[in-house]
Structure 1
Protein backbone atom coordinates (compact mmCIF):
# COMPACT_ATOMS: atom_id res chain seq x y z
CA UNK A 1 0.00 0.00 0.00
CA UNK A 2 1.35 3.40 -0.94
CA UNK A 3 2.06 6.02 1.71
CA UNK A 4 0.88 9.61 1.98
CA UNK A 5 3.56 12.17 1.19
CA UNK A 6 4.73 14.20 4.21
CA UNK A 7 7.99 15.89 5.16
CA UNK A 8 9.53 18.33 7.63
CA UNK A 9 10.54 21.38 5.62
CA UNK A 10 14.20 22.36 5.90
CA UNK A 11 13.25 25.97 5.07
CA UNK A 12 10.49 26.70 7.61
CA UNK A 13 10.49 23.67 9.92
CA UNK A 14 6.79 22.97 9.28
CA UNK A 15 5.43 19.52 8.52
CA UNK A 16 3.85 19.53 5.06
CA UNK A 17 1.40 16.71 4.38
CA UNK A 18 -0.15 15.57 1.13
CA UNK A 19 1.40 15.39 -2.29
CA UNK A 20 2.50 18.84 -3.42
CA UNK A 21 0.97 20.73 -6.27
CA UNK A 22 2.06 23.87 -8.06
CA UNK A 23 -0.40 25.76 -10.21
CA UNK A 24 0.16 28.53 -12.72
CA UNK A 25 -2.56 31.20 -12.82
CA UNK A 26 -2.06 31.92 -16.51
CA UNK A 27 -0.04 30.81 -19.54
CA UNK A 28 3.37 32.46 -19.88
CA UNK A 29 2.19 34.17 -23.07
CA UNK A 30 -0.52 35.98 -21.08
CA UNK A 31 1.89 36.81 -18.26
CA UNK A 32 4.05 38.68 -20.78
CA UNK A 33 1.21 41.06 -21.71
CA UNK A 34 0.94 44.42 -19.97
CA UNK A 35 -2.40 45.54 -18.49
CA UNK A 36 -3.42 47.44 -21.63
CA UNK A 37 -2.65 44.44 -23.86
CA UNK A 38 -4.53 42.10 -21.52
CA UNK A 39 -7.58 44.35 -21.71
CA UNK A 40 -7.51 44.65 -25.50
CA UNK A 41 -6.10 41.28 -26.61
CA UNK A 42 -6.66 38.77 -23.84
CA UNK A 43 -9.48 36.94 -22.19
CA UNK A 44 -8.91 34.60 -19.25
CA UNK A 45 -10.97 32.54 -16.81
CA UNK A 46 -10.01 29.78 -14.40
CA UNK A 47 -9.97 27.21 -17.25
CA UNK A 48 -9.71 29.06 -20.57
CA UNK A 49 -7.55 31.77 -22.08
CA UNK A 50 -7.38 33.39 -25.51
CA UNK A 51 -5.02 36.00 -26.86
CA UNK A 52 -5.93 37.79 -30.10
CA UNK A 53 -3.12 39.39 -32.09
CA UNK A 54 -2.33 40.37 -35.68
CA UNK A 55 -1.27 36.83 -36.66
CA UNK A 56 -4.40 35.20 -35.25
CA UNK A 57 -5.62 33.88 -31.92
CA UNK A 58 -3.84 31.68 -29.39
CA UNK A 59 -6.01 29.24 -27.41
CA UNK A 60 -5.15 27.82 -23.98
CA UNK A 61 -6.75 25.52 -21.40
CA UNK A 62 -5.83 24.56 -17.83
CA UNK A 63 -4.62 21.01 -17.34
CA UNK A 64 -2.65 18.88 -14.88
CA UNK A 65 0.73 17.29 -15.40
CA UNK A 66 1.35 14.41 -12.99
CA UNK A 67 4.75 13.18 -11.83
CA UNK A 68 4.55 9.97 -9.76
CA UNK A 69 6.39 9.88 -6.43
CA UNK A 70 7.93 6.48 -5.62
CA UNK A 71 6.02 4.72 -2.85
CA UNK A 72 3.46 7.52 -2.52
CA UNK A 73 -0.19 7.21 -3.47
CA UNK A 74 -0.74 10.67 -4.97
CA UNK A 75 1.54 12.20 -7.64
CA UNK A 76 3.23 15.59 -7.65
CA UNK A 77 0.81 17.82 -9.60
CA UNK A 78 1.71 20.70 -11.86
CA UNK A 79 -1.28 22.83 -12.84
CA UNK A 80 -0.20 24.08 -16.26
CA UNK A 81 -1.70 25.82 -19.27
CA UNK A 82 -1.60 24.10 -22.64
CA UNK A 83 -2.08 25.70 -26.05
CA UNK A 84 -4.44 23.97 -28.45
CA UNK A 85 -5.46 24.49 -32.04
CA UNK A 86 -8.66 26.47 -32.58
CA UNK A 87 -10.50 23.29 -33.55
CA UNK A 88 -9.35 21.39 -30.44
CA UNK A 89 -10.09 24.37 -28.19
CA UNK A 90 -13.62 24.68 -29.59
CA UNK A 91 -14.22 20.94 -29.18
CA UNK A 92 -13.04 21.11 -25.56
CA UNK A 93 -15.24 24.14 -24.80
CA UNK A 94 -18.27 22.51 -26.47
CA UNK A 95 -17.91 19.33 -24.41
CA UNK A 96 -16.68 21.00 -21.20
CA UNK A 97 -19.87 20.32 -19.19
CA UNK A 98 -20.33 16.84 -20.69
CA UNK A 99 -16.84 15.56 -21.47
CA UNK A 100 -16.37 12.67 -23.85
CA UNK A 101 -14.35 9.85 -22.30
CA UNK A 102 -11.25 9.16 -24.36
CA UNK A 103 -11.26 12.57 -26.02
CA UNK A 104 -7.84 14.08 -26.41
CA UNK A 105 -5.86 16.71 -28.20
CA UNK A 106 -2.33 17.64 -29.15
CA UNK A 107 -0.98 20.65 -27.30
CA UNK A 108 2.05 22.56 -26.07
CA UNK A 109 2.78 23.15 -22.39
CA UNK A 110 2.86 26.94 -22.00
CA UNK A 111 4.46 27.40 -18.60
CA UNK A 112 8.16 27.35 -17.80
CA UNK A 113 8.71 25.04 -14.85
CA UNK A 114 11.89 26.27 -13.12
CA UNK A 115 12.45 22.90 -11.42
CA UNK A 116 12.72 21.47 -14.94
CA UNK A 117 14.49 24.02 -17.17
CA UNK A 118 13.85 23.51 -20.87
CA UNK A 119 14.35 25.64 -23.96
CA UNK A 120 11.09 26.00 -25.85
CA UNK A 121 7.65 24.48 -25.36
CA UNK A 122 7.00 20.85 -24.53
CA UNK A 123 4.81 18.80 -26.88
CA UNK A 124 2.08 16.83 -25.16
CA UNK A 125 -1.12 14.89 -25.49
CA UNK A 126 -3.99 16.39 -23.51
CA UNK A 127 -6.37 13.69 -22.27
CA UNK A 128 -9.88 14.66 -21.18
CA UNK A 129 -10.90 13.32 -17.77
CA UNK A 130 -14.39 12.74 -16.41
CA UNK A 131 -15.79 13.78 -13.05
CA UNK A 132 -15.05 17.49 -13.28
CA UNK A 133 -11.31 16.97 -13.37
CA UNK A 134 -9.01 19.03 -15.55
CA UNK A 135 -7.44 17.27 -18.54
CA UNK A 136 -4.25 15.31 -17.98
CA UNK A 137 -1.03 16.24 -19.79
CA UNK A 138 1.09 13.37 -21.13
CA UNK A 139 4.40 14.68 -22.42
CA UNK A 140 5.75 13.32 -25.68
CA UNK A 141 8.71 11.07 -25.27
CA UNK A 142 11.83 11.91 -27.19
CA UNK A 143 15.42 11.34 -26.32
CA UNK A 144 15.20 10.77 -22.55
CA UNK A 145 18.44 12.72 -22.13
CA UNK A 146 16.74 15.84 -23.50
CA UNK A 147 14.08 16.53 -20.89
CA UNK A 148 14.23 15.40 -17.26
CA UNK A 149 10.52 16.21 -16.83
CA UNK A 150 9.60 13.57 -19.42
CA UNK A 151 11.85 11.05 -17.67
CA UNK A 152 10.31 11.89 -14.29
CA UNK A 153 6.75 11.69 -15.63
CA UNK A 154 7.46 8.23 -17.04
CA UNK A 155 9.62 6.79 -14.23
CA UNK A 156 8.61 8.86 -11.21
CA UNK A 157 10.74 10.70 -8.65
CA UNK A 158 12.09 9.84 -5.23
CA UNK A 159 10.53 11.22 -2.07
CA UNK A 160 13.68 13.29 -1.48
CA UNK A 161 13.44 14.83 -4.97
CA UNK A 162 9.74 15.58 -4.41
CA UNK A 163 10.66 17.29 -1.12
CA UNK A 164 13.41 19.30 -2.83
CA UNK A 165 11.01 20.53 -5.53
CA UNK A 166 8.25 21.23 -2.99
CA UNK A 167 10.57 23.29 -0.77
CA UNK A 168 11.64 25.33 -3.78
CA UNK A 169 8.01 25.83 -4.84
CA UNK A 170 6.77 26.76 -1.36
CA UNK A 171 9.59 29.16 -0.49
CA UNK A 172 11.39 30.40 -3.60
CA UNK A 173 8.91 30.39 -6.45
Structure 2
Protein backbone atom coordinates (compact mmCIF):
# COMPACT_ATOMS: atom_id res chain seq x y z
CA UNK A 1 0.00 0.00 0.00
CA UNK A 2 1.43 3.38 -0.96
CA UNK A 3 1.81 6.32 1.37
CA UNK A 4 -0.85 9.01 0.93
CA UNK A 5 0.17 12.14 -0.93
CA UNK A 6 0.12 15.33 1.09
CA UNK A 7 0.41 18.78 -0.43
CA UNK A 8 -0.08 22.44 0.41
CA UNK A 9 -2.98 23.95 -1.55
CA UNK A 10 -2.12 27.10 -3.53
CA UNK A 11 -5.63 28.48 -2.97
CA UNK A 12 -6.14 28.03 0.78
CA UNK A 13 -2.58 27.41 2.03
CA UNK A 14 -3.69 24.32 4.00
CA UNK A 15 -2.34 20.80 3.81
CA UNK A 16 -4.55 18.25 2.04
CA UNK A 17 -4.31 14.49 1.59
CA UNK A 18 -6.73 13.91 -1.28
CA UNK A 19 -5.28 14.03 -4.75
CA UNK A 20 -4.74 17.52 -6.12
CA UNK A 21 -5.76 18.43 -9.64
CA UNK A 22 -2.86 18.64 -12.07
CA UNK A 23 -3.36 22.19 -13.25
CA UNK A 24 -1.68 24.45 -15.75
CA UNK A 25 -1.87 28.20 -15.18
CA UNK A 26 -1.67 28.98 -18.90
CA UNK A 27 -1.64 27.32 -22.30
CA UNK A 28 1.79 26.24 -23.53
CA UNK A 29 1.62 28.94 -26.22
CA UNK A 30 1.50 31.64 -23.53
CA UNK A 31 4.08 29.92 -21.34
CA UNK A 32 6.55 29.94 -24.26
CA UNK A 33 6.27 33.70 -24.84
CA UNK A 34 8.99 36.04 -23.65
CA UNK A 35 8.15 38.33 -20.74
CA UNK A 36 7.96 41.25 -23.18
CA UNK A 37 5.55 39.35 -25.44
CA UNK A 38 3.38 38.44 -22.45
CA UNK A 39 3.09 42.17 -21.70
CA UNK A 40 2.53 43.36 -25.26
CA UNK A 41 0.66 40.73 -27.30
CA UNK A 42 -1.07 38.54 -24.72
CA UNK A 43 -3.80 38.71 -22.12
CA UNK A 44 -4.20 35.97 -19.52
CA UNK A 45 -6.88 35.61 -16.84
CA UNK A 46 -7.83 32.57 -14.79
CA UNK A 47 -10.27 31.43 -17.51
CA UNK A 48 -9.23 33.08 -20.79
CA UNK A 49 -6.07 33.67 -22.79
CA UNK A 50 -5.71 35.66 -26.01
CA UNK A 51 -2.45 36.03 -27.92
CA UNK A 52 -2.43 38.54 -30.79
CA UNK A 53 0.40 37.78 -33.20
CA UNK A 54 0.87 39.99 -36.27
CA UNK A 55 -0.69 37.38 -38.57
CA UNK A 56 -3.19 35.58 -36.30
CA UNK A 57 -4.93 35.65 -32.94
CA UNK A 58 -4.99 32.52 -30.75
CA UNK A 59 -7.79 32.15 -28.21
CA UNK A 60 -7.84 29.71 -25.31
CA UNK A 61 -10.14 28.75 -22.44
CA UNK A 62 -9.45 26.84 -19.25
CA UNK A 63 -11.17 23.47 -18.89
CA UNK A 64 -11.09 20.27 -16.86
CA UNK A 65 -10.40 16.68 -17.82
CA UNK A 66 -11.07 13.64 -15.64
CA UNK A 67 -8.67 10.72 -16.11
CA UNK A 68 -10.10 7.35 -15.09
CA UNK A 69 -7.92 5.44 -12.61
CA UNK A 70 -8.70 1.76 -13.10
CA UNK A 71 -7.64 0.33 -9.73
CA UNK A 72 -8.71 3.12 -7.39
CA UNK A 73 -11.92 4.83 -6.30
CA UNK A 74 -10.61 8.33 -7.06
CA UNK A 75 -9.96 9.71 -10.54
CA UNK A 76 -7.16 12.06 -11.55
CA UNK A 77 -8.31 15.58 -12.37
CA UNK A 78 -6.55 17.92 -14.78
CA UNK A 79 -6.94 21.67 -15.28
CA UNK A 80 -6.01 22.19 -18.95
CA UNK A 81 -6.35 24.77 -21.70
CA UNK A 82 -7.82 24.36 -25.18
CA UNK A 83 -7.77 26.64 -28.18
CA UNK A 84 -11.09 27.50 -29.77
CA UNK A 85 -12.12 29.02 -33.08
CA UNK A 86 -13.06 32.71 -33.08
CA UNK A 87 -16.78 31.81 -33.29
CA UNK A 88 -16.63 29.30 -30.41
CA UNK A 89 -14.52 31.61 -28.25
CA UNK A 90 -16.97 34.46 -28.83
CA UNK A 91 -19.95 32.25 -27.92
CA UNK A 92 -18.23 30.97 -24.79
CA UNK A 93 -17.18 34.50 -23.76
CA UNK A 94 -20.68 35.90 -24.31
CA UNK A 95 -22.23 33.10 -22.23
CA UNK A 96 -19.51 32.86 -19.59
CA UNK A 97 -21.80 34.07 -16.78
CA UNK A 98 -24.91 32.33 -18.13
CA UNK A 99 -25.57 29.51 -15.63
CA UNK A 100 -27.87 27.68 -18.06
CA UNK A 101 -25.58 27.68 -21.08
CA UNK A 102 -24.85 24.15 -22.29
CA UNK A 103 -23.17 23.46 -25.59
CA UNK A 104 -20.12 21.81 -27.06
CA UNK A 105 -17.23 23.12 -29.11
CA UNK A 106 -14.34 21.64 -31.01
CA UNK A 107 -11.00 22.53 -29.42
CA UNK A 108 -7.31 21.65 -29.55
CA UNK A 109 -5.56 20.62 -26.34
CA UNK A 110 -3.05 23.38 -25.62
CA UNK A 111 -0.81 22.07 -22.85
CA UNK A 112 2.31 19.98 -22.99
CA UNK A 113 1.80 16.98 -20.69
CA UNK A 114 5.21 15.65 -19.67
CA UNK A 115 4.28 11.97 -19.85
CA UNK A 116 3.40 12.11 -23.54
CA UNK A 117 4.76 13.20 -26.92
CA UNK A 118 3.28 16.40 -28.38
CA UNK A 119 -0.06 16.80 -26.64
CA UNK A 120 -0.53 20.39 -27.78
CA UNK A 121 -2.56 19.43 -30.84
CA UNK A 122 -4.87 16.66 -29.69
CA UNK A 123 -8.42 17.28 -30.95
CA UNK A 124 -11.04 17.48 -28.20
CA UNK A 125 -14.70 18.15 -27.65
CA UNK A 126 -15.34 20.86 -25.05
CA UNK A 127 -18.59 20.48 -23.07
CA UNK A 128 -19.89 23.48 -21.15
CA UNK A 129 -21.85 22.75 -17.98
CA UNK A 130 -24.80 24.34 -16.24
CA UNK A 131 -23.94 26.27 -13.10
CA UNK A 132 -20.83 27.99 -14.49
CA UNK A 133 -18.45 25.13 -13.76
CA UNK A 134 -15.41 25.02 -16.02
CA UNK A 135 -16.05 23.12 -19.24
CA UNK A 136 -14.94 19.52 -19.48
CA UNK A 137 -12.89 18.23 -22.37
CA UNK A 138 -12.91 14.79 -23.88
CA UNK A 139 -10.25 13.82 -26.44
CA UNK A 140 -11.53 12.60 -29.79
CA UNK A 141 -11.41 8.82 -29.53
CA UNK A 142 -10.47 8.32 -33.18
CA UNK A 143 -7.20 10.27 -32.78
CA UNK A 144 -4.24 7.92 -32.35
CA UNK A 145 -2.16 9.10 -29.41
CA UNK A 146 -1.12 7.46 -26.12
CA UNK A 147 -2.87 10.22 -24.11
CA UNK A 148 -6.16 9.46 -25.89
CA UNK A 149 -5.65 5.73 -25.32
CA UNK A 150 -4.98 6.32 -21.61
CA UNK A 151 -8.03 8.58 -21.34
CA UNK A 152 -10.39 5.92 -22.66
CA UNK A 153 -8.71 2.87 -21.07
CA UNK A 154 -7.59 4.39 -17.77
CA UNK A 155 -4.30 4.49 -15.91
CA UNK A 156 -3.22 2.73 -12.72
CA UNK A 157 -3.20 4.26 -9.25
CA UNK A 158 0.59 3.91 -9.22
CA UNK A 159 0.83 5.91 -12.46
CA UNK A 160 -1.57 8.60 -11.18
CA UNK A 161 0.43 8.99 -7.96
CA UNK A 162 3.67 9.20 -9.94
CA UNK A 163 2.22 12.02 -12.06
CA UNK A 164 1.02 13.87 -8.96
CA UNK A 165 4.40 13.50 -7.27
CA UNK A 166 6.18 14.81 -10.39
CA UNK A 167 3.84 17.80 -10.64
CA UNK A 168 4.30 18.62 -6.95
CA UNK A 169 8.07 18.27 -7.29
CA UNK A 170 8.17 20.58 -10.30
CA UNK A 171 6.12 23.26 -8.53
CA UNK A 172 8.10 22.98 -5.28
CA UNK A 173 5.11 21.87 -3.16
TM-score by length of 2: 0.83
Matches within 5 A, 1:127-146: 127-142=127-142, 146=144
Instruction: State how far apart, in whole Å, the 2-side matches of 1:44 and 1:26 are.
Output: 7
Partner of 1:46: 46
Alignment check: 8 A CA contact 1:100 1:128 kept: no
RMSD: 2.5
Residues 123-163 of structure 1: per-residue CA shift (max 9 Å, x gap):
100110122311101001236xx422111211221111111
Instruction: State how far apart, in whole Å, the 1-side matches of 2:45 and 2:113 are.
Output: 21
Unaligned stretches of 5+ residues in structure 1? 1-5
Name the CA shift for 1:26/1:120 in 2 (closer, same or farther; >3 Å). Answer: closer
How far does residue 9 in structure 1 lie from its aligned partner after superposition?
6.1
Residues 95-130 of structure 1: per-residue CA shift (max 9 Å, x gap):
111144540100101110002233651110011012
Unaligned stretches of 5+ residues in structure 2? 8-14
Name the CA shift for 1:59/1:99 in 2 (closer, same or farther; >3 Å). Answer: farther
Instruction: State how far apart, in whole Å, the 1-side matches of 2:100 and 2:126 are.
Output: 13
Instruction: State how far apart, in whole Å, the 2-side matches of 1:147 and 1:130 are.
Output: 30
Name the CA shift for 1:53/1:172 in 2 (closer, same or farther; >3 Å). Answer: closer
Identify which of 130, 149, 167 aligns with 1:151.
149
Partner of 1:27: 27
SS at match of 1:51: strand
Partner of 1:8: 3
1:77 correspondence with 2:77: yes
Partner of 1:106: 106
Structure 1 segments, 4+ long, off by >3 Å, are: 71-74, 99-102
SS at match of 1:8: coil
Instruction: State how far apart, in whole Å, the 2-side matches of 1:48 and 1:120 are.
Output: 17
What is the number of residues matched between the two proteins? 163
TM-score by length of 1: 0.83
SS at match of 2:126: strand
SS at match of 1:61: strand
